[in-house]
Amino acid sequence: MKPKIAISIGDINGVGLEIALRAHEEISKFCKPVYCINKTMLAWGSAMLGIDIPKKFKTKECGDVFEILPGVSTKEAGELSFDSFITAIALAKSKKVSAIVTLPINKSSWAKAGIKYKGHTDALSDLLECKTTMMLGCEKMYVMLFTHHIPLKDVSSKITSKKLLKFLLDMSKYIDSDKIAVLGLNPHAGDGGVIGDEDIEIEKAIKKANKILGKELFKGPLVPDTAFSEENRKIYNYFICMYHDQGLIPLKALYFYDSINITLNNSIVRTSVDHGTAFDIAYKNRDISLLSYINAVKKSLNSYNI
């Protein structure tokens, strides 16, 4: 029996629906996808794209009916993408599917809809009452983010040895590796406190975590500007980063099409594409890569196995 996977369709005004339609045949080889979208919006979107709805395209009804506006952020699209997400979570919590895979949402659309969350990851933290962690990447390189979607000016205040220690110990449960790189925050990893004291806190957390684990698992803090050098990527496959762009800029520069988004430390399996709604090419029949989506579906089937 192929496992059932709930697909949260993402922002209907973006590329999510097109990706789902075009990749259906491929992912159906190894799972039974259940698409969280109502049939009216599905029919309208597929007609606009000029793509026939594939056979055995099973849906779970959710959301209202409204006008699709390609490439435009709207309240209605935000509401549908959130409803689709909530429906997928409900299917997973009730064990009707083994995992959920999310297609990209637009944060501005969620804000217009009055949704209090910045994105999928922080929504999962609240809805599942856990402290989720965002990990992104591919087999060649993964990055884990200590902080997610917060302003850069707020990052330094979040870095304490106590908070980071818990984070490191949580990550050790999920990652099968004998060495994990931990990046510093400041230029030159603080130069021993000369450029800020956050890196001293990071070093304390690393030493405490390794002592508790009884092995030198975590290495660092690494100087951020050389952490992702070719030489270091031969040594490390996993990098813990202090903030969003510290990890995402090098990852997307190196492995944009291969990478996926994985949510760790929560009660359901959730993976996602590692790209946005691509409003600029939505409904224009451009050459859209399906690789990140297909990789996300495949990764969801083995409960991560990272």
Phi/psi zone of residue 229: left (φ > 0), alpha (ψ -120 to 50 degrees), beta? beta
Mean pLDDT, the chain, rounded, equals: 94
How sure is the predictor about 305, in pLDDT bands with cuts at 50, 70 and 90? very low
Positive or negative, the CA dihedral 32, 96, 77, 128 is negative
pLDDT at position 303: 57
Residue 80 and residue 203 in one domain = no
Residue 17 and residue 113 in one domain = yes
**Residue 278 pLDDT more than 90?**
yes
Residue 187 and residue 291 in one domain = no
Residue 209 and residue 285 in one domain = no
Residue 124 and residue 271 in one domain = yes
Residue 246 and residue 280 in one domain = no
pLDDT at position 130: 85
CATH number at residue 210: 3.40.718.10
pLDDT at position 256: 87
Residue 70 and residue 145 in one domain = no
Q: How many angstroms separate the CA atoms of 106 and 84, rounded?
A: 13
Question: Where in the sequence is the domain holding 153, given as residue range(s)?
Answer: 140-257
Residue 125 and residue 168 in one domain = no
> What's the full length of the chain, in residues?
306
Residue 17 and residue 124 in one domain = yes
pLDDT tens per residue across span 158-202: 999 999 999 999 999 888 899 999 999 999 998 888 898 999 999
Q: Which two tokens stand for residue 167?
A: 């984070």
Residue 119 and residue 150 in one domain = no
Residue 119 and residue 151 in one domain = no
Q: Would you list the DSSP string of 158-169?
A: H--HHHHHHHHH
Residue 29 and residue 74 in one domain = yes
